[in-house]
């Protein structure tokens, strides 16, 4: 290994996840593959390549920077949609390159129209409706004005979509809020229809909404976390189990993250290990140094908490996680050698370190853990 660690991406796992999602949603619902945050840490180019191979032809990203990365690997008839940030320059680029984008402010809509006129090319926009999350989106009162502007400038804008985002569909505690959001969205959609504006697609659901509230699937779903083989929350998984006979997880984790033992040593009882006094050896211990730290995405909050697999056994991180290194207790492993495999995420022997297990040891969400994985770690596509 030439680098401190490797991220492996399983193509067969992705195929399985997409198969499950397609079967659940039915053939009339398009799946947009959400690859923001460097494809949830998987590596945007590698992941998009795999998704294309699995038949995906719609991608959702956060900004034009990510859109450009996806562009590098996609074929012609694939749509890229920017859900978040576009400044003036990015708007012009997007229109010119047939990349569609969310519009949630009048100012952005006017700029899009202006840029479209200048380019002599239509802007593909998705009108985002504020339905109750109170983040981005046009409020009810702004809708009539938006409709008028779209009607007036219809030679310069294509209404690609009408959309919204739910504020916490992964937790049943938000049931009331989410169902209210669905109502508001439907109302705004009828308003558009009455005015003769028919968005090409209605899309509102993320993974959790698509699973928990089937009516949110509409024409297209924006699926992030589940395509990577992970659940938005334990509740989402339990809710599926309650509905089906099989209790097996239909999803399979795509990612694995592996490193190796860099050095081994023994520490005598009573000594502190690592920086400061975070860990004291109560008895003689054998430790392994692993070249992984918070600069690679292994959170410092896993100090004295994290677990890794070595020789198929769980070994605990001792002391604080450093910038580039961490120390694990390997006293239980007798024949350990330098260069032996260390698994932070993935299977080894009979055991498995899940992404979800990180939230048992720290307060990190699976989303956060993944998104923090360093871009520098090489990604390798495996079967
Ligand atoms: C991230 C995101 C999604 C995907 O969410 P998952 O929970 O990962 O499926 C969908 N829509 C928007 C607007 C998002 O920002």
Secondary structure (DSSP) of 221-283: EEE-TTTTT--S-HHHHHHHHTT-S--S-S----EEEEEE--EEEEE-TT-B-SSTTS-B-SS
Calpha distance 277→274 (Å, rounded): 8
* Other Cβ atoms within 10 Å of 305 Cβ, number: 15
Helix or strand holding residue 342 (H, E): strand 341-348
Q: Give just the sign of the alpha carbon dihedral 361, 362, 366, 369.
A: negative
Q: Is 378 exposed, middle or buried (0-12, 13-18, 19+ CB in 10 A)?
A: middle
Whole-angstrom CA distances from 58 to 19, 52, 71, 88, 99 are 16, 9, 11, 24, 11
The pLDDT of residue 1 is: 59
- Domain 255-353 fold: Lyase, Ornithine Decarboxylase; Chain A, domain 1 (2.40.37)
Q: Which atom of ligand 1 has the smallest separation from the CA of 102?
A: 13
If you classify domain 11-243 with CATH, what class do you get? alpha beta
Ligand 1 pocket: which residues have CB below 6 Å?
34, 36, 83, 165, 206-208, 222-225, 232
**Pairing, β 263-267 against β 30-34:** unpaired
**Are 318 and 280 within 8 A, CB to CB?**
no
Q: Which atom of ligand 1 has the smallest separation from the CA of 37?
A: 1
Q: Which atom of ligand 1 has the smallest separation from the CA of 34?
A: 4
Helix and strand numbers (H, E) in the chain are 12, 18
Residue 179 CA, ligand 1 centroid: distance in Å: 18
Q: Give the residue among 288, 303, 291 at the shortest CA–CA distance from 376.
A: 291
Residue 32 CA, ligand 1 centroid: distance in Å: 10
The CATH 2.40.37.10 portion of the chain extends over: 255-353
Q: Which of 154, 183, 187, 275 is catalytic?
A: 275
Calpha distance 296→263 (Å, rounded): 18
Residue nearest to atom 10 of ligand 1 (CA): 206
Calpha distance 60→175 (Å, rounded): 26
Whole-angstrom CA distances from 85 to 66, 108, 184, 298, 356 are 10, 11, 24, 27, 29
Q: Which atom of ligand 1 has the smallest separation from the CA of 165?
A: 13
Using DSSP's 3-state secondary structure scheme, residue 338 falls into: coil
- 275 carries an active-site annotation: yes
The pLDDT of residue 299 is: 92
The CATH 3.20.20.10 portion of the chain extends over: 11-243
**Are 355 and 366 within 8 A, CB to CB?**
yes
Q: What is the DSSP letter of 50?
A: H
**Are 55 and 244 within 8 A, CB to CB?**
no
Calpha distance 336→174 (Å, rounded): 49
Question: Token pair for residue 346?
Answer: 């993935």
Per-residue pLDDT of the chain (383 residues; tens, 9 = 90+): 578 999 999 999 999 999 999 999 999 999 999 999 999 999 999 999 999 999 999 999 999 999 999 999 997 889 999 999 999 999 999 999 999 999 999 999 999 999 999 999 999 999 999 999 999 999 999 999 999 999 999 999 999 999 999 999 999 999 999 999 999 999 999 999 999 999 999 999 999 999 999 999 999 999 999 999 999 998 999 999 999 999 999 999 999 999 999 999 999 999 999 999 999 999 999 999 999 999 999 999 999 999 999 999 999 999 999 999 999 999 999 999 999 999 999 999 999 999 887 777 777 788 889 999 999 999 999 99
Q: Which of 30, 36, 111, 160 is catalytic?
A: 36
The pLDDT of residue 356 is: 80
**Are 149 and 109 within 8 A, CB to CB?**
yes
Residue 231 CA, ligand 1 centroid: distance in Å: 12
**Are 151 and 197 within 8 A, CB to CB?**
yes
Helix or strand holding residue 79 (H, E): strand 79-85
Residue nearest to atom 3 of ligand 1 (CA): 206
């Amino acid at each position: 290994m030439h680098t401190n660690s490797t991220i492996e991406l399983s193509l067969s796992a992705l195929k399985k996840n997409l198969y499950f999602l397609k079967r659940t949603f039915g053939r009339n619902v398009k799946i947009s593959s959400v690859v923001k945050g460097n494809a949830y840490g998987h590596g945007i180019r590698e992941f998009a390549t795999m998704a294309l191979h699995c038949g995906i032809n719609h991608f959702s990203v956060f900004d034009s920077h990510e859109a450009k990365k996806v562009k590098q690997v996609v074929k012609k008839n694939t749509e890229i949609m920017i859900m978040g940030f576009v400044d003036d320059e990015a708007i012009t680029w997007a229109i010119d390159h047939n990349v569609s984008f969310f519009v949630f402010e009048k100012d952005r809509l006017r700029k899009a129209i202006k840029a479209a006129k200048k380019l002599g090319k239509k802007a593909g926009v998705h009108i985002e409706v504020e339905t109750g999350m109170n983040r981005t989106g046009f409020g009810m009162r702004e809708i009539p004005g938006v409709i008028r502007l779209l009607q007036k400038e219809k030679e310069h804008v294509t209404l690609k979509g009408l959309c919204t985002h739910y504020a916490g569909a992964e937790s049943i505690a938000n049931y009331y809020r989410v169902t209210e959001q669905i109502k508001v969205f439907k109302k705004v959609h009828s308003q558009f229809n009455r005015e003769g504006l028919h968005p090409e697609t209605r899309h509102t659901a993320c993974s959790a909404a698509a699973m928990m509230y089937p009516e949110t699937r509409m024409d297209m779903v924006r699926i992030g976390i589940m395509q990577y083989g992970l659940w938005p929350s334990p509740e989402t998984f339990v809710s599926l189990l309650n509905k089906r006979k099989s209790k097996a997880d239909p999803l399979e984790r795509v990612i694995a993250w592996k490193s190796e033992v860099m050095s081994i040593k023994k520490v005598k009882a009573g000594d502190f290990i690592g920086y400061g006094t975070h860990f004291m050896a109560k008895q003689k211990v054998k430790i392994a140094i692993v070249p992984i730290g918070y600069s690679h995405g292994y959170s410092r909050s896993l100090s004295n908490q994290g677990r890794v697999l070595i020789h198929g056994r769980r070994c605990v991180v001792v002391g604080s996680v450093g910038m580039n290194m961490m120390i694990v207790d390997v006293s239980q492993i007798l024949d350990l050698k330098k260069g032996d495999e260390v698994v932070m995420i993935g299977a080894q022997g009979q055991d498995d370190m899940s992404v979800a297990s990180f939230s048992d040891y720290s307060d990190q969400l699976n989303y956060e853990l993944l998104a923090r994985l360093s871009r520098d770690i090489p990604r390798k596509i495996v079967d």
